[in-house]
Amino acid sequence: MKTISIEEVHDRIEKGEELNLVDVREPHENQEFNIGGILHPLGKIHHFEINELDGLQDKEVIVYCRSGNRSGQAAMMLGTMGFSNVKNLTGGMLAWREKYG
């Protein structure tokens, strides 16, 4: 599984780069703190409800969650579903908030 650091994603966001961010947390977690990703809870990926991700199969997709565990699962599942460039955000939102607030 490919990973990407919070520092790299933060720098790319700061530079104004458009990223395909996918938040696999639950809605209440997303409401509490969000870096702008598409909310797509892990359970929806389990059930192959990925309509919101159509068109991203050949693009870089960065998945994130609270700590990196659920997003790791999501990255593996998306890979088996034909997504060719999925990256897991190492440390998730816990690491992000610790470093960037």
Q: What is the pTM of this model?
A: 0.95
**Backbone torsion region of residue 33, taken as left when φ is above 0, otherwise alpha when ψ lies between -120 and 50, otherwise beta:** beta
From the list 50, 65, 78, 93, the catalytic residue is 65
Which residues partner with 62 through β-bridges? 21, 87
84 Cβ neighbours under 8 A, 6+ residues apart: 57, 58
pLDDT value at 45 more than 90: no
Given the candidates 2.60.40.10, 3.40.50.410, 3.40.250.10, 3.30.70.3290, the CATH classification of the domain at 2-100 is: 3.40.250.10
Q: Is 10 a catalytic residue?
A: no
Give the model confidence (pLDDT) of 4-15 as tens digits.
999 999 999 999
SS3 call for 61: strand
**Residues 18-30 as b or e (16 or more Cβ within 10 Å = b):** ebbbbbbbbeebb
Give the model confidence (pLDDT) of 60-97 as tens digits.
999 999 999 999 999 999 999 999 999 999 999 999 99
